[in-house]
Amino acid sequence: MHRFFDRIRLLRGGVFAVSLSLTITGTLGLTSPAFALSELQQVPGQNTEDKVSEPPADDGTATETVPDEGARRLQLPMPDPLIRKDAAEQEATEPETGKAVTEPETPVEVIYDIDKAPQPVRRMRELIVEAAASGDIERLRPLLGKGATQTQVSVADGDEDPVITLKGLSGDPDGIEILAILLDVLATGFVKVDAGTPNEMYVWPYFTAKSLDNLSPPEKVELLRIVTAGDFADMQEFGSYNFYRVGIAPDGQWKFFVAGD
């Protein structure tokens, strides 16, 4: 009798275990369906019908990877492929661009050795220096010539006596100041201009042929022995030397002694 009840208990226990197993398996099958790997990675709340964004088309930009939280990617523009001209090339732009081309100044040969001038030129300069140093302006008269060969002493054409004209240009009635200016001008270096032409001439001072903006310190000292600092500033604004100058032709004719440009 006891064996009979023991057997019944064993049967019930086996049935209960089987039933419990089936119940657990059924429950898990209803509440925990299988997920694909892609579905497991889906962010909660994301619409599963949204298409995955395609990578941007290659538009010539470089992508730089920045190692910062989630390896975010920054889009940086590529360098400008155009080759830009440097400042020197831009200064030499062709005329059709409308930009002026800066030309370097032509070198000027400044002569200090009077022996490099022709003998007639040397002789006339010597005579002018002797007359001016005497303090008597009348001693210039035979050197100034007459008629077609008369020395130009004024920018305005006229038949006035050249000695009288020079006295009128001087700051004193005797013409002493103009003689002093004449000596100072002839004491500087000189230049040869218009070489090989009918207008070839030896001109004092050499500042007439140089840019005042490019004068060296010693050259500025030479210039300020002739003019004042205020005169120099005015000349720079004017654009060139415009004080007195002397011109002697290769044949020794004294061509001019004038102020102005």
**What CA–CA distances, in Å, run from 31 to 22, 27, 46?**
14, 6, 21
For β-strands 73-76 and 62-65, DSSP reports them as antiparallel
- Three-class HEC string of the chain: CHHHHHHHHHHHHHHHHHHHHHHHHHHHHHHCCCCCHHHHCCCCCCCCCCCCCCCCCCCCCEEEECCCCCCCEEEECCCCCCCCCCHHHHHCCCHHHCCCCCCCCCCCCCECCHHHCCHHHHHHHHHHHHHHHHCCHHHHHHHHCCHHHCCECCCCCCCCCHHHHHHHHCCCCCCHHHHHHHHHHHCCCEEEECCCCCCCEEEECHHHHCCHHHCCHHHHHHHHCCCCHHHHHHHHHHCCCCCCEEEECCCCCEEEEECCC
Res 180: pLDDT: 97
Q: Which pair of tokens denotes residue 61?
A: 């930009």
Specify whether the backbone of 71 is left (phi greater than 0), alpha (psi in -120 to 50) or beta.
left
Res 58: pLDDT: 53
Res 73: pLDDT: 53
* Residue 30 CB neighbours (<10 A): 8
Res 32: pLDDT: 45
Q: CA geometry: angle at 181 spanning 176 and 183, to 5°?
A: 95
For β-strands 191-193 and 73-76, DSSP reports them as unpaired
Q: What is the pLDDT along the chain (261 residues), one digit of tens a residue?
A: 444 445 545 445 544 444 444 444 444 444 444 444 444 444 444 454 444 445 555 555 544 444 555 445 555 555 444 444 444 444 444 444 454 444 556 788 999 999 999 999 999 999 999 999 999 999 999 999 998 899 999 887 667 899 999 999 999 999 999 999 999 999 999 999 999 999 999 999 999 999 999 999 999 999 999 999 999 999 999 999 999 999 999 999 999 999 986
d(CA 46, CA 43): 6
Res 138: pLDDT: 97
- Per the CB < 8 A criterion, the answer to whether 99 and 89 are in contact is no
Res 106: pLDDT: 73
pTM reported for the whole predicted model = 0.61
Res 28: pLDDT: 44
Res 260: pLDDT: 82
* C-alpha closest to that of 250 among 190, 178, 188: 190
The DSSP bridge partners found for residue 246 are 204, 257
d(CA 161, CA 208): 26
d(CA 175, CA 144): 15
